[in-house]
Amino acid sequence: MINNSYINIFKINRFTINRFAINRFTMGKIMCGIVGCVLTNRKAAPILLECISKLEYRGYDSVGISTVDENGIHLKKGSGKIKEVDDKIDLGELPGSTGIAHVRWATHGIPSKENSHPHISNEGNISVVHNGIIENFGEIRESLESEGYIFHSQTDTEVIPILIEKYMDKGFNLEDALKKTLKIIKGSYAIGAISKNNPNEIVAARKDSPLIIGVGDKDYFIASDAPAILNYTKNVIYVDNGEIAILNHDGVIVKDSKDNIVDKKINLIEWDAEMAQKEGYDYFMLKEIHEQDSAIKDTLSERDNINEIITEIGNISRICFVACGTSYHASLTGKYLIESMAGIPTDVILASEFKYSANTLNKDTLVIFISQSGETADTLKALKVAKKTSKTLAIVNVLGSSATREADFVIYTRAGPEIGVAATKTYISQLICIYMFAAILANNKKLLDSLDEVPEYISEILAKEGEISEIASKYINVNDFFFIGRGLSYPTALEGALKLKEITYIHGEGYAAGELKHGPLALIDDNVPVVVIVPPGDNYDKTISNLEEVKARGANVIAIGSCADEFIKTEVTDSFCIDENVNEIIAPLIYVVPLQLLSYYISVKRGLDPDKPKNLAKCVTVE
């Protein structure tokens, strides 16, 4: 049994927590969350509901709870956010003091009740929650089906309860049946399993997906992450790769892969639940800005899919992007890339204005819909219209969302759940998809390969985040900002201005740098700071001329440019420099990061909550 005498104390500090977040918790994607509990004298379901709600940041496609008592396994689950599902089926109303729960971010199979966890074995004796991916589930499923087992979902997870039941039917106990199962499955997992035969027991296992155990007075928990259980216990054990844990009324036993009992330390966590949920970041937006390098790496895995889609689509004479907000800015970057590299005429239309252009589409037009949520009403309406005449492609973050079901072809941005209302990591992931799409269309292997370097450039920026915070301090009381750039830096300017408006409530205007002299220059004076995006490349000299124009009108210039550029270091009010190897072609993927941080820090320094800007919603489902 667990030795309670040794307690490590983790101080509350973002970097300490991040160290654990990276090393312990996030080996693999933050997708799906699990919890489980063995309680003494209390019903498990209401507590599981509260615990799993703390993990909604890990996924919100579906939710489910399963409990066990002397009458067997009980289950409630459904697709949708926790509150929606709970309002319909009262998730906390299940008997038993032992149970497991799950929130899902779909990876295999669309979000649906059938694909929701927990998954139950054929005879209903075993219930399982899983976070991770079972890579060889296809072959296991085929072999189990040939033995007569029936599958009710499209998930990789369902093989686990079926295998456990198969071994229990042969006489193994729950623990040994799980061990036999782990020998067969390949991939990553944090698993929690309960059985009708053991109404007071959970067995759990971990490989490359996060799993902790909570040790209460007489109550024991499992969870993907500490925030889930901090209201019940702050004493946690970190389960290491290859270990399994058995939790029952007697306590917790952890065994290694050779079946030896491991003397695990109990660590005292001093975070409060909310702080831990954000992994120590003050806001989800900052956490998501920091997740951009991994979002890019994951999204780059769509390359083969994009290749196949382009081959299947065949000849197209025109491309038309349709999107809203940040997704519109990503689309605009696509226009510049596709027209300049592939020579295909490309339009970008705001989804809410699409109906006026709909009759210009034909069968040789490819209409590309970009949407983080895949549920934006304006975008969906346009998609339904475009389908009637043209081939449609959706670039979407949320698996199984409406746009993915409507479109002919789908590319996923693999950014994981984005909680902050302001799009950050999903914008970068959309851009990565667009860059891959344009580079493959134009047969530009050099550009395609250069995308692998983007995460490193972003990490370099994040390492200098403090410089942006200092710049932000100087501008918290201004009323207006301009953001200017030329060519591919123009959409970046628009996106910088949108970020500023939505989370700081300061008026920000993005403008094509060369267009300023045709009107807005009249607004520029020493009260209007101008952010100039000026990466090295063909547009550099002309952008510097525009910078001089605003400087001459008294504007405080904040220049974002190359670290090799002496001019921006000495001749402007403030500057932030980026690796000199980043040229203007790939700059949109990198130069936007300091703009996100600038808005974030201005927002926080003005005392605002950047995650929940007033009047805005993450997903806009009205026209």
Residue type at 179 in one-letter notation: K
- Catalytic, out of 29, 32, 76, 166: 32
Taking the C-alpha atoms of residue 116 and residue 400, their distance in angstroms, rounded to an integer, is 13
Q: Output the six-digit token pair for 424.
A: 């950050």
Residue type at 364 in one-letter notation: D
Residue type at 92 in one-letter notation: G
Please state the closest distance from residue 426 (CB atom) to ligand AGP, in A: 7
Q: Output the six-digit token pair for 611.
A: 């995650």
The strand ranges marked E within 300-444 are 318-323, 346-350, 365-371, 391-396, 409-412
- At a CB cut-off of 8 Å and minimum separation 6, what does 149 contact? 122, 162, 166
Please state the closest distance from residue 373 (CB atom) to ligand AGP, in A: 3
C-beta of 527 vs 621, nearer to ligand AGP: 621
Query: Could you tell me if residue 171 is left (phi over 0), alpha (psi between -120 and 50 degrees) or otherwise beta?
Result: left
Strands 318-323 and 365-371: parallel
C-beta of 157 vs 426, nearer to ligand AGP: 426
Active site residue 32: yes
C-beta of 12 vs 617, nearer to ligand AGP: 617
C-beta of 131 vs 327, nearer to ligand AGP: 327
Please state the closest distance from residue 504 (CB atom) to ligand AGP, in A: 13
- At a CB cut-off of 8 Å and minimum separation 6, what does 83 contact? none
- At a CB cut-off of 8 Å and minimum separation 6, what does 204 contact? 36, 190, 191, 192, 193, 211, 213, 222, 239, 244, 245, 247
The 3 state secondary structure assigned to 390-409 is CEEEEEECCCCCHHHHHCCE
C-beta of 415 vs 422, nearer to ligand AGP: 422
H-run or E-run covering 133: strand 126-134
Please state the closest distance from residue 325 (CB atom) to ligand AGP, in A: 2
C-beta of 365 vs 379, nearer to ligand AGP: 379
- At a CB cut-off of 8 Å and minimum separation 6, what does 373 contact? 396, 397, 398, 401, 618, 619
- At a CB cut-off of 8 Å and minimum separation 6, what does 396 contact? 369, 370, 371, 372, 373, 374, 403, 404, 410, 411, 412, 413
Integer Rg of the chain from CA: 26
Mutual angle of helices 489-504 and 588-605, in 10-degree steps: 20
C-beta of 563 vs 620, nearer to ligand AGP: 620
C-beta of 247 vs 383, nearer to ligand AGP: 383
Residue type at 220 in one-letter notation: Y
The 3 state secondary structure assigned to 378-390 is HHHHHHHHHCCCC
Closest CB to ligand AGP: residue number: 325
Which residues contribute to the site for ligand AGP (CB under 6 A)? 324-327, 371-373, 376, 379, 421-423, 502, 619-620
C-beta of 99 vs 510, nearer to ligand AGP: 510
Please state the closest distance from residue 348 (CB atom) to ligand AGP, in A: 14
- Catalytic, out of 180, 605, 618, 619: 618
Active site residue 51: no
Please state the closest distance from residue 430 (CB atom) to ligand AGP, in A: 8
Residue 95 sits at φ, ψ, to 5 deg, of -80, 170
- For residue 456, the SS3 value is helix
Query: Cα 14 vs. chain centroid, distance in angstroms?
Result: 20
The residues carrying an active-site annotation are: 32, 618
